[in-house]
Amino acid sequence: MKLRKKIDFVQFLNCVKTCESEVYFCTKEGDRLNLKSTLSKYLFSAIIGNTEFIKHGTIECELPDDYERLQVFLSEE
Amino acid sequence: MDWRDAVEIRLWYYMGMIHSACGLSVWCFSDNGHLYYTDSPYEQELQMMFSVGGCMDYALTKGKEIDVPFIMSDSIGLVWMGTYFEASNNSKLLVIVGPLFYASSSVNHMEQELRKMNLSIPVRNQYLRILQEVPVITMNTMKQYARMLQFAIKGEEIGEVTIYFQTPAEEYPEVTEYMEEYAEEGAVDYGRIENQEKLILQCVRDGNRHYKQVMENINFSGLNSFQTGNSQRDSVDMVVIFTALCSRAAIEGGLSPRTAKELELKFIRQAEKAKSMTELVHVNTKMLENFIEQVDECKNKLAVTKPIRDCCAYIRGHFSQELTLEKVAKEVGYTEYYLTRKFQKEMGIRLLDYIKDVRLEYAKVWLVTTNKTIQDISEQLQFGARNYFSRVFKEKEGVTPAQYRERQWNFNQRGAENEAEKKN
């Protein structure tokens, strides 16, 4: 799943907090940032301004239910 | 009203001045966190970091109750200053200045941390590019900017600025300026720092509760940073060393070594657990306050009158004899009733308990240094039956006399063996 365009990233990370298991942002370069880890959240913050990272990055959840929670921020494309 | 009097205009000038001076950015938010404007080149990224680090939450909750600048920091060492002001249309706005680093080693340390994560070069570079542009500013300079901000907002010159430090707990520590200063890299006056330290440690030794005034007068700049590359570690080490120095001074001031060591351990543990610079400053402040209070209380306890001091000396000189209340009172020249009340008031302990404590102190010495049986010790120290002696001893020390003796002897034995090994 990819992130939708023009989402509120602060709200997105707040929503990630409510997920039951780990949620990862994966870049096309092969990085796998755990969005529940503090340092990874800082790294994620640093790349949100670069549309290429967001456009090509994907969100991976360990639990299917967590996709439901993040539904408003995700798209199939 | 002149347009130049509007607080927004003054803030605009302030923004331009500090940005041109050192690249610091100013952010203006509504009181519910909506960003109105900033001059930061990394608006989205740094706003997100401000939020991710918990500083935004702090500013929007606790910060609202503080009407002077407050300093916040996060787990990667980014520092922000904030304050609220009333705009011309009477709405309440939050102004944030930052981020900044206190030590130039912060980014180097982060680079090392990132290497462990095996990140791709584009992600790593993007992260470092932003953080490398964060200005490194000393606390002293930050303090000046806080004064300027107060001036820009309130329109009046102020002398001392009381600065609040963000804490994870519910409390809001008020920390005067002496604590936020750390030695400036490359401009360290070691002689001055040493003299300041001497004065502060003298305050601890004296139990001087007015120590804040002393520090304001000398403009305490804290201990020197080690500059090892890990600024958080350096700061923790500084607090640990300062705690040990305060502990030593407190002992010299009359605090019992046991209490001093307990306090020392407590604050060192807290310093090691601190996750941010502001939390560390809070621990340091509490530590200093605590040592000074304890020494002061201790000194007040020592302020006993001569008859009671004579009474204590008499008890210590005759601990192995039968000591009745009547006998001690007669020796001091008071009635039993008056002596017991006066003794407890001045010493904070009942006279009979004091006699018991003195005897237990000697019991401990005899247990370790002599071959006397426990029964003999019990009788010679006027405890009578061995069972009663054991019970009283255990209440005080947590172990029976036999266990105490065995433990101490084992300890001494191990020490002797280690010494022998060293010699061999």
What is the number of other CB atoms lying within 10 angstroms of the CB of residue B129?
12
CB pairs under 8 A between A and B: 63
C-alpha separations of B418 from B368, B411, B413 in Å: 19, 11, 9
Whether the predicted pLDDT of B105 surpasses 50: yes
Candidates A9, A10, A47; nearest CB to B126: A47
Contact (CB<8Å) A47/B123: yes
Which residues sit opposite A25 in a β-bridge? A33, A59
Contact (CB<8Å) A47/B113: no
Query: Could you tell me the sign of the dihedral formed by the alpha carbons of B395, B400, B403, B409, in that order?
Result: positive
Q: Are B239 and B281 in contact (CB under 8 A)?
A: no
DSSP string, A26-77: E-TTS-EEETTSHHHHHHHHHHTT-HHHHHH-EEEESSHHHHHHTGGGEE--
pLDDT tens profile B116-135? 778 888 888 889 889 888 99
| Residue A25, min C-alpha distance to chain B (Å) | 12
B301: pLDDT confidence band, cut at 50, 70 and 90? low
Contact (CB<8Å) A46/B126: yes
Chain B hits for A43, CB-CB cut-off 8 Å, are: 119, 123, 127
Contact (CB<8Å) B76/A42: yes
Contact (CB<8Å) A42/B52: yes
pLDDT at B181: 36
Whether the predicted pLDDT of B26 surpasses 90: yes
B172: pLDDT confidence band, cut at 50, 70 and 90? very low
Whether the predicted pLDDT of B218 surpasses 70: no
Which residues sit opposite B83 in a β-bridge? B95
pLDDT tens, chain A, 77 aa long: 888 888 889 899 999 999 999 999 999 888 899 998 888 999 999 999 888 888 889 999 999 899 999 999 988 76
What average pLDDT score do residues B398-412 get?
82
What average pLDDT score do residues B99-107 get?
73
pLDDT tens profile B365-395? 788 777 889 999 999 899 988 899 999 999 8
Q: Mean pLDDT for chain B? A: 79
| Residue A30, min C-alpha distance to chain B (Å) | 7
Whether the predicted pLDDT of B335 surpasses 80: yes
Contact (CB<8Å) A42/B127: yes
Chain B hits for A50, CB-CB cut-off 8 Å, are: 126
